[in-house]
Structure 1
Amino acid sequence: MAKAGLDVVALDGRKAYTYDLDSESVVAIDLATGDQVGAGARPQGNLPARSDQSGESDAQDDVPLCQQHAPAVGTVGGKRIAVGVFPTVTEGTGTTADTSTYELVALDTETGEAAWQAPLNVSVGGDFCHVAGISGKVAVVVLGGSFEPPNTYGVDLESRKVVWTAEQFEAQYVQGSHVVGVDASGDGSVVEGLNPATGHLQWQGPEAYVSVDLFEVTPFSSESVLVQNRDADGWSTVLRLKDGQQVDVPGMGERLHEVQRCSYDLRTLTFCFFHTTAGGELAAYQAKSGKLLWRLGGPDGNPGRIAPDLTAAFHGAVYGNVVRDGGASEPIVLDGATGKDRELDPGAAPTLVNEYVGLTAERDGSLYTAMG
């Protein structure tokens, strides 16, 4: 599989989809065997030469061509596809300079072969190139961002053409009829919701005079997102997808609580791990309402119990690692409804989980362990 970490892996059913950095293509992996399915989907255009840290070109390293995220998986025209994006270069002739652009690549999830490739005719050069998500027949693609915030493009997956552009807006999460990201076109950075079909503004949320890359938007439930501002005076809040209004969630914004991460179990529960002055704290919430169900660790947790460092949650199960005083890390599974220990020796604490498998990276970052 890819060597860039689990942040470039998408789970969908019994397969995973990722970027293979050796073949420079989007590939499908059979989760039962760990083998690649099909030949993958590679762009038709020429890829730019990689550079090592000394700036020498054509370096054979494991660095992606840009900051790619996991491929986005969706169904368009009755076909399930995994979509990724690559930078490409058209070589100039004579006094004509080389032209840098991007190419969208779709993988047929059933066969693991290329479904199609489509040049985007967008030339913005930069560090970002990833598909933030798919809504209906539109892929939300983030490009650019070397010396200024990236742009976001809506690409119709039937015509394979750009249908809208949001300049200096970084889409970070796509869910249903909403795109949530950060607009840095003004004096500060502001969280916004856009319509994925048209790119039109739906709502504006919190604003801060910080760099766009200090904002992070992740799912809190099927109807809300967690927004984190990670500057020195950072804060966290939960916003409703439909209108950007704040959801009252105990712990968010409390002076002594810094949220590290949250994980929605894709049913009814969400779990968050906090750093507090009394150590780590794991809290469980009703995902829709934000109502606090239980806390473990921290200043208000149960005495004598250690809050595990949260790695993932799925369908009522909470996965994490208990870190002992000596530094030993022990994976564990908790019951999400009660917070009680459910499995003391699961073998590993997965980072990605679905109904078939859990994935965790090996220490060298190049291999993955599948847990049935």
Structure 2
Amino acid sequence: MALHKQTAYVALPDRVLAVDTASGAVTTAATTEAEPLFKLSPNLENDLPAPFVTEAESPLVLTTFFVHQPGAGTQAPRAFMEFTAIPTAAGAAPWRLPMDLPEWAKESQSPVVATVVGASGKVAVFTLSATKSASTTTTYAVDLDSHRVLWTKDLFRAASVTGGIVTGEKWDKKGGDYTAAAGYDLATAAEKWRAEDRTNVDVMPAGPHLILATAVNKDDYRVRYRQLLDPATGQVKRDLPDDLPGSDCAHDGAGTLVCTGRDTVWAVDDTSGALRWQLPDKNAGRIAPQVTAVWHGRIYAKATDGPLTLDARTGADLPTRPGLAPYLVNEYTGLALSETDRSLTAYPTSG
């Protein structure tokens, strides 16, 4: 699910639903033009990646459907992807870009998934990967103006788009692992930088100015790396200390990157990578709450005695406690999930 203003967009195997969070009204924003390859599980669980909403004057909701065209006459049946862009403006029609699946995806024994990792200007990037095979990954760049594929790159798993650079991990066929973080030009796919070869490399987005890269020394598995890098150059901005586990990070939109791990929360400056605070703090007698969302300098979280908010810059508990801990929030709406029946409720926000 993705949130844009007062609308929540929900990806399903054959359509994207638009939910008006003010009224609860549900409409279909887009559907596939062919038979979907996958369907919802019998218990209605939906593990598809969320749609991606571009940050532009005329935003687009981006997703990819996997579809099947039955054979007819001499025409053989065909499985392919529909990269779909849905304008958020009222009355504007979606457009679709059909794309052939790569051979590895057609032969994959495990389900394939397409995840839009980012967009900058008029170019969006998504990865196609097999859920149970790390080596089978292809990254695509799509021109949102001309509705065409700019480039594809096999054995590269994109993680983020920052400015005009796509960053991610390179797969080494010989080593059978992701061995290097790398950055490529968004428009041309020309390599801009490549980090030192390591093993178990994992690159994650870390706000508008940083990426988080973790890895293991290929000659000594006891040596581990957790570094904040400049996505434009690959330069190490900060080596993170060993007592900061976790790599699930979210940018608050106001200069702070908030990351969580098991019973750990910490925050860094989104440009320099300087550590601002961390929890737990034994000296202050403070524990780490369970973070659910961050937004505009505020962290929403859960503690044993209920929901709470923290100042993202300082980590201090804010005096006014909310009645809920939303999982998605913006200037219009907060979406919270019930702990009992897993129902979703929308609440108006301010500021």
In which range does the TM-score fall when normalised by the shorter chain?
A: 0.7 to 0.9
CA contact (8 A) 2:199 2:215 kept: no
Matching of residues 58-77 of structure 1 within 5 Å: 60-63=42-45, 68-74=48-54
Does residue 1:166 correspond to 2:142, yes or no? Answer: no
Query: How far apart are the structure 2 equivalents of 1:158 and 1:69?
Result: 24
Secondary structure of the residue that 2:277 maps to in structure 1? strand
- Aligned partner of 2:245 among 244, 248, 258: 258
Q: Do 1:120 and 1:161's aligned partners in 2 also have CA atoms closer than 8 Å?
A: no
Q: Which residue of 2 aligns with 1:88?
A: 67
Q: Which runs of 5+ in 1 are unaligned?
A: 1-8, 53-59, 324-328
Q: Which residue of 2 aligns with 1:98?
A: 77
Contact 2:198 2:216 in 1 (8 A): no
Which residue is equivalent to 2:165?
Answer: 178
> CA shift at 1:335, angstroms?
2.0
**1:311 and 2:292 aligned:** yes
Task: State the identity %.
Answer: 29
Q: 1:154 Cα shift?
A: 1.1
CA shift in 2, pair 1:284/1:142, >3 Å: closer
Superposition deviation, residue 266 in structure 1: 1.2
Relative to 1, partners in 2 of residues 1:26 and 1:253: Cα closer, same or farther, differing over 3 Å?
same
Name which of 120, 126, 132 aligns with 2:117. Answer: 132
Q: Which residue of 1 aligns with 2:330?
A: 354
Taking a change above 3 Å as real, the CA distance of residues 260 and 368 of structure 1, as seen in their structure-2 partners, is farther
Give the match for residue 37 of structure 2. 48
Match of 1:122 in 2: 101
Distance in structure 2 (CA, Å) of the matches to 1:293 and 1:144: 35
Q: Partners in 2 of 1:161 and 1:70 — Cα distance?
A: 22
Mapped to 2, the partners of 1:370 and 1:172 lie a distance apart of 31
For residues 75 and 353 of structure 1, the distance between their equivalents in structure 2, rounded to whole angstroms, comes to 16
Q: What letter corresponds to residue 308 of structure 2 in structure 1?
A: I
C-alpha distance 274-143 of structure 1, shift in aligned 2 (>3 A):
closer
* Contact 1:27 1:107 survives alignment (8 Å): no
- 1:128 positional shift: 1.7
- TM-score, length of structure 1 as denominator length: 0.78
Report SS of the residue matched to 1:149. Answer: strand
**In 1, Cα distance between equivalents of 2:283 and 2:320:** 18
Q: Distance in 2 between matches of 1:366 and 1:171?
A: 33
> Which letter maps to 2:233?
D
Residues 1:196 and 2:186 aligned together: yes
Asked if 1:217 corresponds to 2:209, the answer is no
1:166/1:306 Cα in 2 relative to 1: closer, same or farther (>3 Å)?
same
Structure 2 residue identity aligned to 1:46: E
Matches within 5 A, 1:216-365: 216-219=203-206, 221-229=207-215, 235-248=225-238, 252-254=240-242, 256-275=243-262, 280-298=263-281, 301-323=282-304, 330-343=306-319, 345-363=321-339, 364-365=341-342
SS, match of residue 114 in structure 2: strand
Structure 1 partner of 2:6 = 14
Q: Helix, strand or coil: the match of 1:227?
A: strand
Over the residues paired in the alignment, what is the CA RMSD in angstroms? 3.0
TM-score (norm 2): 0.82
Q: 1:321-361: per-residue Cα shift (whole Å, max 9, x none)?
A: 223xxxxx521101233332214531222222222222233
Which consecutive unaligned segments of at least 5 residues does structure 2 have? none
- Larger relative contact order, structure 1 or 2 (CA cutoff 8 Å, min sep 6): 1
Q: Distance in 1 between matches of 2:117 and 2:146?
A: 19
Judge conservation of contact 2:246–2:264 (CA < 8 Å) in 1.
Answer: no
**Residues 261 and 121 of structure 1, relative CA distance in 2, 3 Å threshold:** closer
- Structure 2 distance, partners of 1:241, 1:307, is 29
Partner-residue secondary structure (3-state), 1:313? strand
